[in-house]
Amino acid sequence: MNSKSGLFFAIFATLSAAAFGQSKWFIAANAGAVVSRTSTGDTLANPFTTRNRGSVFGYLQGTYDLSKASSLNFKLGYLGTGFRINNDTMPANGMIKQPVNILSTSLGISFRQRFSTGSFITENFGIALNQQLGGSLTDTIYNQTKNARYRIINENLVKTFPAFYLGFGMGGNTEEGHRYEFTVSYQQPFATARQMRVEYGEFYNQNFPLTFRGGNLQVGFTFYFNFGALEKSQEYFY
């Protein structure tokens, strides 16, 4: 974990510790599915095509209610992205599946509009700092171990890159004062995460560039624990 992620985690832990007994503070668990692919601006040589790659994400989240209609959100967790490239002329082993595992930290704000007593919709946006886990500048990936028909070579790998995210959600409140929310969000990095080259043909004498920016679509569920409500519940039982 780099110094920036370590600093964020320390701040997050401090805020989490302060959350107990304060009704404006929530600790949340956020998890779901994520879809990503190579950049849409890439021009792939015939017969190559790019495909979506599905994975998962999971965050620990701290939330502070600025008002009844807005909140600050702090997140730290795992984000599974990546891409798939396929050679459509190959009946078997024509696809390279490349995971890109990320440690993601983010800071954002959300706005809530209530449409009934216990239900609301939200809009959220913010910035994230993503760090690729593993990998090296000289990674070479082959479509198969023996008699490979093509390969992908990393020409430039950016380990840490910032991103912007925005999304919306729909949720409600429980009788105990907790919250839950179904969310959809899109994250777009400001810089290219990986610049690659696909080599194919006899002796790999043909090639074309391939770009992975790291943009991804996340669909998930978040449950917010209100520690003020938990404290009241404990007082009731004692």
Whether 208 contacts 197, CB under 8 Å: yes
What confidence category does residue 229 fall into, taking pLDDT thresholds of 50, 70 and 90?
Answer: low
What confidence category does residue 175 fall into, taking pLDDT thresholds of 50, 70 and 90?
Answer: confident
Q: What is the mean pLDDT of the chain?
A: 87
Tens-digit pLDDT profile for residues 97-116 = 999 999 999 999 999 999 88
> Helical H runs in the chain?
3-18, 227-237
What confidence category does residue 8 fall into, taking pLDDT thresholds of 50, 70 and 90?
Answer: low
Mean pLDDT of all residues in 179-184: 96
Whether 104 contacts 144, CB under 8 Å: no
Query: Measured between alpha carbons, how far is 65 from 25 in angstroms, rounded to an integer?
Result: 7
Tens-digit pLDDT profile for residues 203-223 = 999 999 999 999 999 999 999
Whether 20 contacts 227, CB under 8 Å: yes
Query: Measured between alpha carbons, how far is 3 from 72 in angstroms, rounded to an integer?
Result: 23
Whether 132 contacts 102, CB under 8 Å: yes
Query: Measured between alpha carbons, how far is 203 from 83 in angstroms, rounded to an integer?
Result: 25
Kindly list the domain boundaries of the chain, sorted by start residue. 3-19+27-237
pLDDT, residue 33, reads 98
Query: Measured between alpha carbons, how far is 119 from 129 in angstroms, rounded to an integer?
Result: 31
Whether 141 contacts 150, CB under 8 Å: no
Query: Measured between alpha carbons, how far is 189 from 129 in angstroms, rounded to an integer?
Result: 9
pLDDT, residue 21, reads 46
Q: Which of 6-20, 136-150, 187-201 has the lowest mean pLDDT?
A: 6-20
Bridge partners (DSSP) listed for residue 40: none
What confidence category does residue 236 fall into, taking pLDDT thresholds of 50, 70 and 90?
Answer: very low
Query: Measured between alpha carbons, how far is 97 from 35 in angstroms, rounded to an integer?
Result: 13
Please provide the size of the chain in residues.
Answer: 238
**pLDDT reading at 1 higher than 70:** no
**pLDDT reading at 123 higher than 80:** yes
Domain topology for 3-19+27-237: Porin (2.40.160)
pLDDT, residue 156, reads 81
From the list 31, 213, 197, the residue with the least C-alpha distance to 132 is 213
What confidence category does residue 18 fall into, taking pLDDT thresholds of 50, 70 and 90?
Answer: very low
